[in-house]
Chains A and B, each alone.
Chain A
Amino acid sequence: MEKPKNGMDRRTSLKYMGGGAAALASLTWVACESPEQVAENPEHQHAVREDYELSEADQKLMEQEFFNEHEMQTVTVLANLIIPADDRSGNAEEAGVPEFIEFMMKDQPWHQTGMRGGLRWLDIESLRQFEQTFVSCSEQQQKQLLDQIAYPKSAKPEMSQGVNFFNNFRDFVATGFFTSKIGIEDLQYIGNTANNWQGSPPEVLQKLGVSYDDVDGYEFA
């Protein structure tokens, strides 16, 4: 498998990081606007920067390799078993999860040993049970192994290291997937944009069994 070098569709500028942040030439004021105008024309007052660039330091991290090819394959297979594609969205790989995990190993090196060792644990256990590495197993065999470590409450005590590794790995996959574009869309998070907050809609209030009558003594914006 070819290891994708950069799964990001946008690059980020970490301009303000570190000590040597560039001085800004001047402080800017923005013309005053009423909330009504904001509601009608929410976008015009923002310069959303599209041209993200990776900082030099992050570029360097990108260029380093942590996982070898076999490990990267294992990460990819495992991540896709944790978040597979379905009718609402793609799988972990499509969300760039393997590249994200690879980056985090270099960005936060304290995860390295647990991750590398955990992947190794998985292979050893797989060899013991199926006489081949995890990625070479059939999907059914892979799942058979995951069933032994994916449910902490029912897992056997001798599997505790595997359980621990899997809990951490699952957390990485969840962040990687649900902070990706497809993951955010899948969750139907609607926000991070200019709007005019007018309270929660009636169907949401109804679902929770609450009403704005409970606060009718107040005058709201």
Chain B
Amino acid sequence: MQIKESSTVYDVCIVGSGAGGGMAAKTLSEAGAKVALLEAGPMFDSAQGDMFKWPYQSPRRGAGTHRPFGEFDAAFGGWDIKGEPYTRVAGTQFDWFRSRMLGGRTNHWGRISLRFGEKDFKRKSVDGLGDDWPISYTDIKPYYDRIDKMIGVFGVNHDRSLGLDNEPDGHFLPPPKPRAYELLVKKACDQLDVPVVPSRLSILTRPVGKRAACHYCSQCNRGCSTHSNFSSPSVLIPPALETGNVTLITNAMAREVLTDDEGLATGVSYISKDDNMEYVVKAKAVVLAASACETARLMLNSKSSRHPNGLGNSSGMVGKYLMDSTGGDLGGIFPQMMDGIPYNEDGVGGMHMYMPWWIDNQKAKLDFPRGYHIEIWGGRSMPSYGFAGGIQGYNGWFTEGGGGERPEGGGGYGAQLKNDYRRFYGASVGFSGRGEPVALESNYCEIDPGVVDQWGIPVLRFNYVWSDYEILQAKHMQDTFEEIIHTMGGRLLWNKAGKESNYGLHAPGRIIHEVGVARMGKDAKKAPVNEYCQAFDCKNLFVADGASFVSMADKNPTWTILALSLRTSEYIIDQKKKGNI
């Protein structure tokens, strides 16, 4: 088989065009670098998404047969991709979500855009577990500030009296007014001393640059026809392409990073899904941003005599300290919301209010470390596949006022049932906790010695087990949600999860916040990359996705991925100017 190699030598080859890769492509190309951007998926522009479609325009009414979040979701990919398997060590769990498209998972993410706080970089100093980052909040603050302004995010700076001392200030567009049911949540939580504050989402409530303000259609997960929310192909890729310095190669699945006798990166080999041929892109530096685990996979698969354990892996730590956020949910149904008044409750595609982690674990003597924030969902959203499923479980509850005559218990059919559907529509509100796991060396991904994907690339094998830290945190979530639901005057929509199910803790990978597999550190023996995400063993190799995280805050990772990618990209420019790489 022939390998096609072009004579062009790019300044940088970036693998992946999501949050991390998109930011690197923009920053480096605007500085004048000639960039080759490899993306395993096809082109995508959210202006071509499925906004304003109705479920009845499809024979499956939007069912998620081929896409985990429904037919109209802007995701190509999911937890299972044909021809691209991964494996797990027996008795352990990890579900790996991948998007294969320009912009990766930024096309349909939740757009919850939170900065890590001062404590989030120094957790070991706070509770003795895991490791501190080699950088502090002050190092990354200027990058967060610039990203807020460049991309646009709504929210507020928090009143110090709320006790939210680990939620840094930012540069925010005004948030949308809360929905009525979100005020109901706030009213209950005020009694419980749980602060409910405006959310921070990267959705424009005012125009920014060439991008229009949001028109409140609530369909963010389908993309956004006016580019009013953040995705890499709406915000980062176009300016990168406009520089004329970027060669974008889509449908290009990177196989490995190539190195020379000195052990330095010389480029990347890839398979083109268009013609099934093997190619090589030559570059003076390589930035891996293929999503954390895929970045680890590329490093581990890039073996040579100088790098027998994989590229940048003399520490043996590539793949280790894998983390995903913890997650637990509980929903309630509220009699005061039944027989609701019809109105357009859509708002932005996401919650308008949320609850940041509000407790000091030490002072409150909690039996678990770290915390979680609470996301709110519910109300009169667009009816979709799965509408009112399992109504027999709750429609027997509130029979007064229009409930009508019915035999004992729930369920039924006919006029009574049809009316129940109407009465209960929009009357539920749910809570999702998203929290911090503790980084453990025993949670890892590695190359499976026996399995390859359809292109012959060795695949990842995962080994992840939740510890008691996370399980006890999930218990706290369930108790808190129950308390909020009852204080609001509602009933639980389904049973609270108990010990036998780890208190409803989702399997690792289900919250889709994978980070940590090539963590940064000061010591080359303990960490693959330094504080600028530069490989200790290969000075022209960088990571620009979540791989470099030392710990995962309860905050969703993307704003930090963007900030670190910007910082790393500027470091590359600086090192280039100094002639160090």
Contact = CB atoms under 8 A, between A and B. Distances in A.
Interface of A: 8-12, 14, 16-19, 21-24, 26-35, 38, 42, 45-48, 52, 54, 58, 61-62, 81-84, 86, 96, 99-100, 103-104, 107-108, 143, 146-147, 150-154, 166-167, 170-171, 174-176, 178-181, 183-184, 186-201, 203-205, 207-212, 214-215, 217-221
A48 B51 CA distance: 8
A84 B411 contact: no
A174 B181 CA distance: 24
B207 A221 contact: no
Contacts of A27: 45, 233, 237-238, 241
Interface in B57-93: 57-63, 65-67, 71, 76, 82
Nearest to A210: B183
B55 A219 contact: no
B184 A21 contact: no
Contacts of A54: 59
A158 B184 CA distance: 44
18 contacts: A21-B76, A32-B210, A33-B213, A48-B52, A58-B59, A104-B60, A150-B412, A153-B411, A154-B409, A167-B392, A171-B389, A174-B391, A175-B61, A179-B385, A184-B382, A186-B422, A190-B342, A221-B174
Nearest to B179: A200
Contacts of B336: 207-209
B212 interface: yes
Given A197-B348, A201-B341, A208-B336, A192 B183 contact: no
A205 B408 contact: no
Interface string B520-563: 00000000000000000000000000000000000000000000
A190 B44 CA distance: 29
Interface in B359-415: 380-392, 396, 406-415
B213 A35 contact: yes
B48 A153 contact: no
Nearest to A45: B226
Interface string B223-252: 001110000010001100100000000100
Contacts of B177: 197-200, 212, 215, 220-221
A54 B387 CA distance: 23
Contacts of B3: none
A8 B55 CA distance: 11
A19 B76 CA distance: 8
A172 to B, nearest CB: 9
A192 B382 contact: yes
B218 A192 contact: yes
A32 B523 CA distance: 48
A84 B226 CA distance: 41
B222 to A, nearest CB: 10
B235 to A, nearest CB: 11
B238 A82 contact: no
Given A99-B59, A194-B216, A178 B388 contact: yes
A221 to B, nearest CB: 4
A84 B212 contact: no
B342 A188 contact: yes
Interface string B412-441: 111101100110010000000000000000
Given A200-B180, A221-B177, A38 B387 contact: no
B343 A200 contact: yes
Contact of A33 (B57, B212, B344, B386): B212
Contacts of B215: 38, 42, 45, 194-196
B343 A179 contact: no
Contact of B411 (A23, A100, A151): A151
